[in-house]
Amino acid sequence: MTVPDPATVTALLADFPDPETGRALGSMGQIVAVEAGPQAIAVTIGLTSHAAILRQATRARIEEQLRAAYPAIGRVTVTITDHDRPPGRLGQVGLEAKSVIAVGSGKGGVGKSTVAVSIAIGLARAGSRVGILDADVYGPSVPHLLGLSGRPEIDQGRIQPIRLAVGPHPMPVMSMGFLVPAGEAVVWRGPMLHGAISQMLRDTAWGPLDYLIIDMPPGTGDIALSLSQVLPLSGAVVVCTPQDVALLDATKAIAMFRKVQIPILGMVENMSFFLCPGCDKRYDIFGSGGARRTAAELDIPFLGEVPLQIAIREHGDAGRTVANYDDDRSGPFFQAICERLAGTLAAAHSARPPLPSLPVL
Ligand SMILES: Nc1ncnc2c1ncn2[C@@H]1O[C@H](COP(=O)(O)OP(=O)(O)OP(=O)(O)O)[C@@H](O)[C@H]1O
Ligand SMILES: [Mg+2]
């Protein structure tokens, strides 16, 4: 029987991929401490806040790997500590963020904003630094979904975002809804639209972020084009419903993102099935599995499904989208989507060179 020693255990974990970058833990100084003897192994691994949602899964996989290597060992303890790796600055807007994710769809009303906001909340609850940009300047709904109001103040030439208390780092949120009185129509011309989006990105005091989640307006590619011109996006999440028409629209949305060189991170199927609040029975109102099949056909990851649930609509209307995580019939679905999304990003990071960071102009 092999008795583990610190050097062998360290070597065993050296190639384990960091859940943020996909690169070897051993190469990034993330194997912080290793104790090993005949009875027990204890390792301390440093992970970044970007990977916060993957901490439990990573801990479990490391433990599994150690147990597989030393089947006779008594105790295996894997402790995760914070590993600091600040973001660089992205694009001509100089945004300090590691991952910028657009949430879009081809069609209106499929639940983009609900999914975008819920992804942001899930990542923030886990401990990541997350911001939300509501890029729907025609019909901003993020303030409403989060129960936020007020007018952003200007401090030293920077717009102070409105912050939502969720997770350890209050989440900065920026939306045209904070700047234009509710119900007032604004006519946007192309260049103004581009200006508004770049200004919200550039002049908002976001602070360093792990993720900026962007809630996209329905349909046209104007905003996607603007975004792709001012900063490199990690990619887009496409939301659809199981109906055929919506799937066709989703295919169009995917083509639109691809046209402006924004990679597709995956598809989310919203309103997948109806969960009866009385009996917990599942009804496949629109048929099921459509998005999963389409994702497979298009060779893009399927990130998960969200049931059609009265409580999700109620929480949204009450400005308490956060409460979707306290509900067993919606929380686990959103949590799974966040975990798959973070996993997909790690895989994409390891396959691609790091995003270009430019100095602020
Ligand atoms: N899974 C769900 N179950 C029940 N209601 C939902 C679900 N997802 C979204 N809704 C509700 O559907 C409505 C539309 O959702 P949402 O605003 O997120 O869609 P959208 O795609 O962003 O719309 P738009 O195209 O107007 O931006 C909202 O009232 C929301 O609460
Ligand atoms: Mg919306």
Atom of ligand 1 nearest to the CA of 105: 21
Residues 290-301 pLDDT 10s: 888 889 998 999
Q: Does the pLDDT of residue 230 top 70, yes or no?
A: yes
Atom of ligand 1 nearest to the CA of 110: 21
Q: Which amino acid is at 93?
A: V
Residue whose CA is closest, atom 31 of ligand 1? 313
The mean pLDDT value for 306-316 works out to: 94
Q: Does the pLDDT of residue 180 top 50, yes or no?
A: yes
Instruction: Pick the closest to residue 59 from 75, 40, 79, 30 (CA basis).
Output: 79
End-to-end CA distance of the chain: 61
Give the confidence band of 351 by pLDDT, cuts at 50, 70, 90.
confident
User: What are the E-state strand segments in the chain?
Assistant: 31-36, 40-47, 75-82, 89-90, 95-104, 130-134, 154-155, 158-159, 162-164, 171-175, 209-215, 235-240, 264-275, 282-283, 302-308
Residues 182-209 pLDDT 10s: 777 677 777 888 999 999 999 999 999 9
Which three-class secondary structure state does DSSP give residue 184? coil
What pLDDT score was predicted for residue 159?
Answer: 96
What share of the chain has pLDDT > 90, as a percent? 76
Q: Does the pLDDT of residue 355 top 80, yes or no?
A: no
Joined tokens for residue 356? 């270009």
Pick from 214, 313, 322, 324 the residue to mutate for probing ligand 1's pocket: most ligand atoms within 8 Å of its CB.
313
The mean pLDDT value for 240-265 works out to: 89
What pLDDT score was predicted for residue 183?
Answer: 73
Residues 96-145 pLDDT 10s: 999 999 999 988 899 999 999 999 999 999 999 999 999 998 889 999 99
**Which ligand is nearest the CA of 242, by number?**
1
The mean pLDDT value for 138-162 works out to: 95
Q: Is 219 exposed, middle or buried (0-12, 13-18, 19+ CB in 10 A)?
A: middle
Pocket around ligand 1: residues whose beta carbon is below 6 Å from it?
Answer: 105, 108-114, 136, 139, 141, 218, 270-271, 306, 308-309, 312-313, 316
* Intervals of CATH 3.40.50.300 along the chain: 89-351
**Which ligand is nearest the CA of 316, by number?**
1
What share of the chain has pLDDT > 70, as a percent? 96
**Which ligand is nearest the CA of 239, by number?**
1
What pLDDT score was predicted for residue 326?
Answer: 95
Alpha-carbon distance of 160 to 84, in angstroms, equals: 25
What homologous superfamily is domain 89-351 in, according to CATH?
Answer: P-loop containing nucleotide triphosphate hydrolases (3.40.50.300)
Cβ partners under 8 Å of residue 199, min gap 6:
none
The mean pLDDT value for 178-182 works out to: 83
DSSP bridge pairs for 214: 102, 133
Residue whose CA is closest, atom 23 of ligand 1? 109
Q: Does the pLDDT of residue 358 top 50, yes or no?
A: no
Q: How far is the CA of 63 from the centre of ligand 1 (A)?
A: 40
Cβ partners under 8 Å of residue 303, min gap 6:
237, 265, 266, 267, 268, 337, 340, 341, 344
Residues 327-339 pLDDT 10s: 999 999 999 999 9
Q: Does the pLDDT of residue 158 top 70, yes or no?
A: yes
What pLDDT score was predicted for residue 361?
Answer: 41
Alpha-carbon distance of 198 to 104, in angstroms, equals: 18
Q: What is 11-82's CATH number?
A: 3.30.300.130
Q: Which amino acid is at 142?
A: V
343 or 274: which carries more pLDDT confidence?
343
Mean pLDDT of all residues belonging to the chain: 91
Q: How far is the CA of 172 from the centre of ligand 1 (A)?
A: 22
Q: Does the pLDDT of residue 220 top 80, yes or no?
A: no
The mean pLDDT value for 235-259 works out to: 89
What pLDDT score was predicted for residue 291?
Answer: 87
Residue 260: CB atoms within 10 A of its CB come to 16
Q: Does the pLDDT of residue 57 top 50, yes or no?
A: yes
